[in-house]
Amino acid sequence: MAHIVLIEDNPQTARMATRLLRDRSHDVQSFQTGEEGLLALFSSSPDLILMDLGLPDIDGQTVIALIRQQPTLAGTPVIAFTAWSPDVARNMAKAYGCDGVIAKPIDTRMFAQQVEAFLHSSPVEDSTAKAE
C-alpha cells in the first residue's frame, strides 16, 4: 500500500482516480488546488504525487518547484497527470521536473498499474511516458 497525493481540479477525474487506486489498497489524498495540495504535502510524506499541470490557482511548474525545494519531498516521484497532447506533456513534464506522465482521460483498465509502475520505477511503456 502506498500513500499517494493527487492534485487534480476536475472532480470527476479525481473521484475516478481515487477510486481506482483505493481499489488496489492505496491510501489517496485528493486536492483540487495547488495551494491545498502544497499545504497537505508539507505535512505528509507521500510515496508518489500525481500532479495536474493546469490548476486554477497555481500553475503546475510553481507547485513542482516548491515540492522539489522541500528536503522531505525532493526525492518523491512527481507524475504529471495531464490531458495535454503526448509530445507537449512529455516536454512540459521534463521541463517542470516531473518523473513521468500519465495521460488523461484515464484508461480505467491500466491506470492503477501505471501509477504502481512509477512506485516501482518501471513505467508501463504503452500508456505511461517517463520524462527523459
| CATH number, position 100 | 3.40.50.2300
Domain count, the chain: 1
End-to-end CA distance of the chain: 27
For residue 87, what pLDDT is reported? 87
Full residue range of the structural domain in which residue 15 is found: 3-129
Instruction: Give pLDDT tens digits for 56-69.
Output: 999 888 999 999 99
Distance CA 30, CA 10 (A): 11
**With a threshold of 0.85, does the pTM exceed it?**
yes
For residue 124, what pLDDT is reported? 42
